[in-house]
Structure 1
Amino acid sequence: MPAALLIIDMQVGLFHGPETPHDGERVLANIRHLIAQARQHRVPIFAVRHTGPQGSPIAAGSPFWQLLPALELDAEIDTLFDKSRPNAFHATGLAQQLSAAQVDDLYIVGMKSQFCIDSTCRAAADSGFKPLLVADAHTCMDTPALPAQAIIDHHNATLGAAFARLINCADVSF
């Protein structure tokens, strides 16, 4: 089944902002590994940036809005797009692009587990795709209510129960 890799909100301002993502360097290394594997197997890569309103730290064009340079994404071969809602499918054309590429399996990675990862996994399933949440390639920050690891574990359990198939980075083979 044709697959694609979807990288969500791995942006300078979110990753290197005032709050540190939980286990960020390991998550980034896992995503870089998946990018290399996708390139090797000619699997399309989609990367989305969350765009905040004018004047926000992640307003379009701002330095913090940019995708992490360490990802080494290439606008010539990768599909880079923007969103303004947690759901990467909302008003972006992503579903049409994935359908045109005949993608069934959608590997989902990035930030933040409880917002955009959650919304996008659910929307992918509702849109007829087969989301695979890479359990060790998404992250978030601690909150006043819960530590990040508890948030990640909860979302792996919840999303893996009904909306996505869980897979670890080491087990992905495109």
Structure 2
Amino acid sequence: MAGTEDTEPAPRHLARLISVRALVLSVVLLVGFTMLFPTIRAYLGQRAELDALASDVVVAEQTERDLQVELDRWSDPAFVQAQARARLSYVLPGETSYRVIDPEFVVETPTVEGATPGPVAGPTLPMGGAVTPWYTTVWESVRIAGESAMPEPDATERQ
């Protein structure tokens, strides 16, 4: 009977020992996680930022290559001449330059016998010549609005 008394407390003692070991292990793991988590999070954040900056460098290098190709194009005199003609409407001496004012605003004139047919293009000026500047029109609008906003004096206020 003495052998059975010794074997009975062993499972209880073993279960308690395992639970204490598990508790100590979980506390150690929790403390380790608490101490390492901020470091790992900072590492991963910096790694993501580094990857983003690397992709920005690739884009900047591609832009630099494109700009270098554009710069090389401008060293060609024929390209410069073509751009001056297209962008600035430059012409060589002896050439005649034609400019269409507004190709969508073309009014057909009625056909009259003896008159030369052809479209009339461009805006028309009012009778009297030039149009007043825009700031004159704005000032006139402000003056008229100021006059209409002032109240009329009453008959009792006049006396």
Q: Give the TM-score normalised by the residue count of structure 2.
A: 0.14
Q: Which has the higher contact order (CA 8 A, sep 6+)?
A: 1
Give the structure with the larger helix fraction.
2
